[in-house]
Structure 1
Amino acid sequence: MSFRDRLLALIVAVLWGLNFPATELALQHFPPMLLAGLRWALLGIPAILFVPRPQVKLRWLLGAGAGIGCLQFAFLYLGMNAGMPGGLASLVLQASAPFTMLLAGFFLRERINRPQAVGIGLAVLGLAAIAAYQSQVAALLPVVLTLAGALGWAIGNVCSRQARAPKPLHFTLWMAVVPPVPMLLLSLIFEGPRRIGASFAGLSDLHAWISVLGLLYIVIIAALIGYGIWNTLLARNPSSQVAPFSMLVPVVGVLSSWLMFGERISVVELIAGLAVIGGVLYASRPRKSASEPILEPAAVD
């Protein structure tokens, strides 16, 4: 990856890290399935009206929309609604990085070199240390739901990579066309029309608009800008080089959740977070080309 692409990947990590406290704010008013449906409907409807359909195979568009739009966010929101703290959710969801590498290795035959394996291993150890520490205060069901969301993200990553969209922003917007209908139907079935109606009727309350601001951040910053950059990176770089940057998200997620909601950060989490950063940077460092000539010292007469 070029320096510019690595910088863009870092920016995405920050945007997505802040997405978790924004989601906590949005879930204070909207039920999880309805929130997922609204998130993508606010992107999908303008896409259909104003954005040309991306020139990619339909199966990759549907796969990315189903994996990222439906599976990732349905399970993530359900997990957070079931009691998963935002900082811990940002951590567990980063299991998508090793999931992506495994899926890309199995289905796309992408190779993982030794520095990447070492860097990913170090980052995974950091994530495992934070998970082991945080598991003392987290129930099993929210963790399982969030892990299912991570697998959905990995499936979406592989489909995005295979799509190789010539205009990644168009792909991101049209990817949002897939989730709204199934998410809103699931909301109608499991959350019920009464709860949905109460969510919209309650928008006259000033406190509800804090949740609306959280929703707008999710839609505009995290989804539109974040996934636009992310799909651009996946279109021009191997998945195994892009995916590790997602493991920086929990560092931002834990810090922002601490600042906004008072979630405590221990010394263990701080050290483990530094291990995650170091591992990602090591895994993504540029490799020297094997064909690069070796410069010999000049002979002295």
Structure 2
Amino acid sequence: MPLRHTLLATLVAAAWGFNFVVIHIGIGDFPPLLFSALRFTLAAVPLIFFVRKPDVPWSIILGIGGMLGVVKFSLLFIGMDTGLSAGLASLVLQTQAFFTIILAALLLGERPTGGQLAGMFVAFLGIALVASTVGGDLSALGFALAIAAALAWACSNLIMKKAGPVDMLSLLVWVSVIPPIPLFALSFMFEGQEAITAAFLNLRLEGVGATVYIAFVATIFGFAVWGKLINLYGAGKVAPYSLLVPIFGMTFSALLLGEEFGPLRLLAAALVITGLAINQMSGRNPTALKPAE
């Protein structure tokens, strides 16, 4: 890729890494389910009136919207609200790549390559090290919900795989139409009218900015640019830049939120990123078209 597109791919990875810091800020101002509902509402409206529906069945749009938009992001946001730091969230969530390989093998009969198995082994050693640090700033519930979110993301990857090659932006806009109503309903049921009302009555610039960023920068800008680069150069050249997402996520969290990792977590991060790199270089990759955040 020419330098300008290399820098653009790196910028998208940085935007997705910074997004975990933004989520941390957002759930400080909004209950997590409500924050997720607002994210998808802004991502869908008004673009839904200007972006043509992709040529895929409604069942795929509903499946991705439900699994990715409702399940994955609900689990992630609640996990971060109950004891999972932004930096660790950006790292643990990357296990979606390996859950996708496992599910593709079990459900679609896709045999993983030796490189994918090796990458999976190395990365899960890193995740085991993260799990061993549960306590203090990392709750067992927050960690478990992040793993469950990664599994839900993997399920949505398999649904997305059935969509075939489609325009990433148009798919994301139409997928974003699905989550708001169930998310608003879940927020009303579990977070309560009082918490929702208080969030809107006590709006801060930080919370509004976080909502705008996650909807337009991380979702619309990120997926539009990522999809364009994949169309130009292919997934094999673009997907490796997703390895930068947890690096940016942990760096931004340390610099802006004061998150401390320590030697054990840094070793865990190195193992997970190394495992992801081995997976990316191993050839057949069922997650190649799936951006990191």
TM-score range, shorter chain: 0.7 to 0.9
- 2:212 is the alignment partner of 1:216: yes
- Structure-2 residue corresponding to 1:73: 73
Using the TM superposition, give the Cα deviation of residue 233 of structure 1 relative to its aligned residue in structure 2, in angstroms.
8.4
Separation of aligned partners in 1, 2:245 and 2:135: 18
CA contact (8 A) 1:44 1:173 kept: yes
Is the CA contact 1:19–1:222 (under 8 Å) kept in the aligned structure 2?
yes
Instruction: Give aligned-pair identity as a percent.
Output: 37
Q: Taking structure 2 as the reference length, what is the TM-score of the superposition?
A: 0.83
1:266 is aligned, of 230, 240, 262, to: 262
Amino acid at match of 1:70: V
SS in 2 for 1:133: coil
* Greater C-alpha Rg: 1
Q: Secondary structure at the match of 1:110?
A: coil
Equivalence for 1:35: 35
CA contact (8 A) 2:85 2:137 kept: no
Report the count of equivalent residues: 281
Q: Output the amino acid matched with 1:22.
A: V
CA separation of 1:255 and 1:122: change in aligned 2, threshold 3 A? same
Letter in 1 for 2:267: I
Query: CA offset at residue 177 of structure 1?
Result: 0.6
Equivalent of residue 278 in structure 1, options 271, 274, 281: 274
Q: CA deviation at 1:70?
A: 0.5
**Which has the higher mean CA deviation after the structures are superposed, 221-230 or 4-13?**
4-13
Instruction: Map 1:105-184 onto structure 2 (within 5 A).
Output: 105-135=105-135, 137-184=137-184
Query: Do the aligned partners of 2:70 and 2:183 also contact (CA within 8 Å) in 1?
Result: yes
- For residues 238 and 144 of structure 1, the distance between their equivalents in structure 2, rounded to whole angstroms, comes to 34
Conservation of the 8 A alpha-carbon contact between 1:241 and 1:283: no
Distance 1:155 1:225, change over 3 A: farther
Say if 1:218 and 1:211 are closer, same or farther in 2 by CA, change over 3 A: same
Q: TM-score, normalised by structure 1?
A: 0.81
Q: CA deviation at 1:171?
A: 0.5
Distance 2:225 2:22 in 1: 20
Q: Aligned residue for 1:296?
A: none
* Alpha-carbon offset, residue 250 of structure 1: 3.1
Q: Tell me which residue corresponds to 1:297.
A: none
Structure 1: runs of 5+ lacking an equivalent: 289-301
Separation in 2, partners of 1:158, 1:236: 23
Please name the residue that 1:64 is paired with. Answer: 64
Task: State the distance in 2 between where 1:36 and 1:90 align.
Answer: 17
Amino acid at match of 1:66: G
**SS of residue paired to 2:260:** coil
**Over aligned residues, Cα RMSD in angstroms?**
3.3
Partner in structure 2 of residue 93 of structure 1: 93
1:28-85: CA deviations, max 9, x gaps? 1111111010000001122332111111021111111111111111111111112222
Counterpart Cα distance in 2 of 1:184 and 1:44:
15
Q: Any unmatched runs of 5+ in structure 2?
A: 285-293
CA distance in 1, matches of 2:282, 2:140: 39
User: For 2:174 and 2:5, how far apart are their aligned partners in 1?
Assistant: 23
Partner of 1:211, secondary structure, is helix
Give the secondary structure class of the aligned counterpart of 1:274.
helix
CA–CA distance in structure 2, aligned partners of residues 236 and 161 of structure 1: 19
Aligned to 1:23, the other structure's residue is in SS state: helix
